[in-house]
């Protein structure tokens, strides 16, 4: 098992807060069988892991200096931990810590489980004691990001675990509905695109057929069996092209130009 990092190797702020480092060190000490060692050996392991700067600060503590003589206490290890607690544990502003707790809102990026985990860490310095669970539940009711969750919890009288389960189910349902809506929108969009593509293809084909039937002979082929000039009555061309014999003719019946008089 690897040993924990040194608490304070150089002057400055400890890279890991004392309370967290102490937990890591205690776990390490137990894993290597430190609970079976004499206090003086546990003391030596602690001093080694304090680091150079941590050891210097420790040795400057007056209470420890007094206990380093021949009449040292039976458990110097425990006494040293207490002195280090006083030295490296910052004084708590109870009003400020409680303000932080009651002001902590759930944001959109965190699910309810992460939010509750954050809240569980805050009351440790707020001295809530037995009220901790009920106050965390109240924070979920007050500050949950999802309004529907807050409304649902207000209609009941749940304990903390029940409130967490309700919030989790509603969050999962909201995610499922969102995914289903996105899937439906994508399906509808695909259908619309397919209909548009079919319409474009149909219009394009009809346009090609129409153009093919009425095309100017000088620019392409045409179906002479289907085309008939309304000016001269001859097949094989339309009235607008130059080869129409009636283009400059004058009707004998009405006197207008552009077509021949119809013979009955």
Per-residue pLDDT reduced to its tens digit, 36-73: 888 889 999 999 999 999 999 999 987 654 444 444 45
DSSP state of 224: T
Beta bridge partner(s), residue 250: 257
Task: Give the pLDDT of residue 263.
Answer: 59
More confident residue, 217 or 245: 245
Q: List alpha helices for the chain, DSSP H.
A: 18-31, 39-60, 62-66, 76-88, 94-103, 112-121, 132-143, 147-154, 160-213
* Residue 26 burial (CB count, 10 A): 14
What pTM was estimated for this model as a whole? 0.46
The tens digit of pLDDT for each residue in 154-207 reads 998 899 999 999 999 999 998 888 888 776 666 566 656 666 666 555 555 555
Task: Give the pLDDT of residue 68.
Answer: 46
Distance CA 1, CA 228 (A): 99
Task: Give the pLDDT of residue 108.
Answer: 84
Task: Give the pLDDT of residue 207.
Answer: 53
């Amino acid at each position: 098992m690897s040993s924990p990092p040194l608490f304070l190797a150089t002057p400055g702020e400890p890279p890991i807060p004392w309370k967290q480092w102490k937990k890591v060190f205690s776990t390490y000490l137990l894993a290597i069988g430190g609970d079976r060692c004499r206090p003086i050996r546990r003391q030596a392991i602690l001093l080694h892991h304090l680091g150079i700067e941590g050891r210097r600060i420790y040795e400057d503590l007056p209470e420890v200096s007094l206990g380093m003589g021949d009449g040292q206490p039976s458990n110097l290890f425990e006494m040293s931990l207490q002195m280090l607690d006083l030295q490296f544990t910052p004084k708590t502003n109870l009003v400020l810590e409680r303000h932080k707790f009651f002001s902590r809102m759930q944001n959109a990026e965190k699910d309810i489980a992460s939010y509750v985990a954050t809240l569980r860490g805050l009351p440790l310095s707020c001295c809530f004691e037995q009220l901790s669970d009920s106050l965390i539940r109240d924070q979920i009711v007050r500050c949950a990001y999802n309004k529907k969750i807050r409304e649902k919890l207000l209609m009941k009288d749940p304990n903390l675990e029940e409130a967490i389960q309700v919030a989790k189910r509603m969050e999962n349902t909201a995610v499922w509905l969102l995914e289903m809506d996105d899937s439906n929108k994508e399906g509808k969009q695909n259908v619309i695109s397919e209909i548009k593509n079919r319409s474009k293809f149909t219009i394009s084909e009809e346009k090609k057929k129409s153009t093919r039937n009425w095309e100017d002979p000088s620019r392409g082929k045409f179906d002479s069996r289907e085309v008939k000039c309304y000016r001269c009555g001859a097949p094989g061309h339309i009235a607008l092209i130059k080869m129409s014999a009636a283009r400059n003719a004058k009707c004998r019946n009405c006197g207008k130009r552009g077509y021949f008089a119809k013979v009955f």
